[in-house]
Chains A and B, each alone.
Chain A
Amino acid sequence: MSKNINVALIGNPNTGKTSVFNQLTGLKQKVGNYPGITVEKKEGICKLPRGVKAHILDLPGTYSLNTTSLDESLVVELLLNKNDKDYPDVAVVISDVENLKRNLFLFTQIKDLKIPTILVVNMADRMDRKGISLDVEAMEKKLDTKIALVSTRKNTGIERIKELIADYKSISSKPILDPNRISPEYFDRLKKTFPQNDLYKLWLVITQDVNFMPIEKKRIQDATDFTTKSKEELKKLQHKETVLRYQLINNILKETYKVDFMAAKGLRASLDKILTHKIFGYLIFFVILLTIFQAIFDWSGYPMDFIDEQFAMAAEWIKDTLPPGLFTDLLAEGIIAGIGGIVIFIPQIAFLFLFISLLEESGYMSRVVFLMDRLMRPFGLSGKSVVPLISGNACAIPAIMATRTIENWKERLITILVTPFTTCSARLPVYLILIALVIPEGKFMGLSYQALTLMLLYMIGFGMALLSAMVLNKVLKIKTRSIFMVEMPTYRLPLLKNVAYTVIEKTKSFVLGAGKIILAISIVLWFLGSNGYSDDFENAESIVTERIEKQGLSTYSKNYIQNNIESYRESALNEGMAPNALQDSVVLLTSELSERAVAQEVASYKLEHSYIGQAGKAFEPLVKPLGYDWKIGIAVLTSFAAREVFVGTLATIYSVGSDEEETIKNRMAAELDEDGKPLFNLASGISLMLFYAFAMQCMSTLAIVKRETNSWKWPLIQLGFMSVFAYIIALIAYQILI
């Protein structure tokens, strides 16, 4: 049996930790969440020399073990808990050769935990260009460790890391800084009170809460009683520790690390002059945003159409090939329709994550934060809120997870609460189909009304996010110190591999996450729509036939027959069919069509008296003032699981209620209200769009908000406020327009 080694990758942000992780594990990695919190947990397997296997854990980036955010506290918690199954046998600290001094700060802290610690000096390929020389051997001696010089870009040094990990037993686990030096008096007392415990670990536990408030943490049981020092005094000691560590590091670097500034060349300074320029900076950012939107709305149209066609074909193929029956219906009407509704988002989601990961990898995202900070502040947000708000245009879930970099709790909470107003891609199919139905074609200043409407909806969403942020900023009484600090990393060309991993990983988790919900809902809907309990449902056929004998076909059916015959006549005449033959075939077609119309009326009567129809009817009074019938009501209701369900629900409801393949849009256009007018008109269409713009219809987002804020309070407030607001706005819009 080969033994598994637990390895933890630790390092400052922007040191290329993820690249090292990707190089070590290749595609043998999985991304999940730490139990209870949504901090991403990346794990992978790496094969080492001599048949040893290493289980590698990529910990969130941190500058030190003195935590100021959720991500960082997680690192500390793991390193303090020897019983954790992920507790590392060996720690690998990734550092960047240009910021070695700062990176070594973290290194010395990790080493003081008495974990064997390897130092990886990454980006070694930049040494020449930056005029850096490094005496590796001398440094290994001074730091009492082993060092691997690595370049993930040039693909060198990875083998050396593997060898060092395999040989971890020979790596020293002696600490570097004696904690007694921080305060002899204090640590002496500490030692007397807790003779069993490691002093430095105790110290970390005691000081953990000093800098970081809103998250509750487990503590070492005994340590809670030992609060003989005030916060200010503890902070003073932390400062002392920082100074001591830097003294130590400076002494080591003096002898081993040289920078010839004359030889140093850098892109950063010159690029920053343009990219963070007061005018050009905004212009460039604006152009980049436009490009992203263009990609999401325009370029992704082609693959989306393709996917749409494939799924329509698949559904038809199943209906044609499999024997008719319950299972075939479920497959074609419930499952395929449901899955198609989610797969179609893949191109958009992938494009968005492609751009976001390009911007992040290149180092540009930090510049956006820098540029936007002042603009966001009047709204109670920070420059760091910009990234979540932009990502929110793809999906609120990763966007809310991206708020973790905001240290200020109030700013972070506001960002979390308003992000769901931004127009996520799940709203897009709803908007697109409604716009196509109710907004007339035509142009205004070269732009089509339909495109303008879409743009307006995006602006409404973003504006609403800012507006509610401003209100929340006034209303919320949370005291926090504002520490806004953003590192501006050197610009680098994004590594294709890293970008590809991100895009694949994020897209996959979106599709699987949302897919499960949609699939489940489609099946339940389909079942509820094709079953009923009342006599009306059981005897639908005889009731409808009787009604038709007495009153004739419904207006809808009459229109349906007439439209079909007209278009048939037209195409037949174009093909040059003789009038006589045409007359005969029209008679034949008419009888065929009326037969089909009867079947359809039976089906829709059945639907109306099915479980779902009954539920919808009960729900109808609530949505009637907004201009919706019970079918739309059901679609809106199911959308509270996820917005994109809207189109899928209508597709399922309508295809249960008809026996032929027809596009969902035509089916919607043909729907009539009680007065025989189109159900989807300008008033009800706008009302629906506004409802979707404001309502909180996404279970996954609520779940994420719950986890990120650590209480049900905020997601429930969010759900209540957004939905009531949406209802009122939709009501006003409909009543004005009708």
Chain B
Amino acid sequence: MKSIRGLADRYSHWVLLMPFLVFFTLFILLPVIFAVLLSFTRYDSIQSPVFVGLQNYLDIFTHDTVFMQKVLPNTATYALIVGPGGYILSFLLAWVIAQMPRIPRTVLAIVLYSPSLLGSVALSTIWGVLFSGDRMGYLNNILYSLGLINEPVAWLTSAQTLLPIMIFVGLWSSMGVGFLAMLAGILNVNAELYEAAYLDGVKNRIQEIYYVTIPLIRPQMLFGAIMALVNTFNSPGLGVALSGSNPTPDYAGQLIVNHMDDYGFLRYEMGYAAALSVVLLTFVWIMSKAAYRMFEDRD
């Protein structure tokens, strides 16, 4: 008994770290490794996997016309607008409310933050009703009464409008924890540094943001960028939930994640789905490298 206690004390750091490491390995590290391994196989979840080399990747980029014509452009458009767009919006809104006294600032922070609390299910319910395709839909009703349309528009099932709506909803819910971090960062900048900067020739608020605020809160900017990135890719069900079908109508709202679900859980082509997830992880990784490049402390 005594020796067990002795050991527990001597290796306390490993004892305390162990639960995290176990769950981290099981549900984050191993899944990524498995995805990579599986991506080199053909696997239908019943028979054992067959090694096929780079065949899945070749298929993705040469045979999968849906991927090349719809999924890839959709994902790129969505990610490049919602990721950086939501991030810049978060920073600007954080900066604007940082100019206000405490009470309105806190209220507005809560208001701006609250959409990010909704999961994709709640998101698609709210916006599904607002954009609903019959005359009862709010948007249709407003446009109709303004005389802008004669027929109700099927916003969520039409190939032209689904992706823009997804982007809008993505931006709407992008003021998450990164936004709060940047707000806290802006509020913590020492006022004397601004005074010094104005003495050194900073002339207006835009220069002030560029030369003083951003460099000083660079660590929070980087954290915010990573959070924006994760948030962008982590609301997978949006297009499917809004339109009510996977695949989405004419693949208009199909993102890599939906394509993956389609192959993995509807067609049971697990190897192919795994190759798609490796492509997605690579995509996220490249974007996060770009964020590090921009904001990492260079000295």
Are chains A and B native binding partners rather than an unrelated pairing?
Answer: no
- Chain A contact residues, CB within 8 Å of chain B: none
- Chain B contact residues, CB within 8 Å of chain A: none
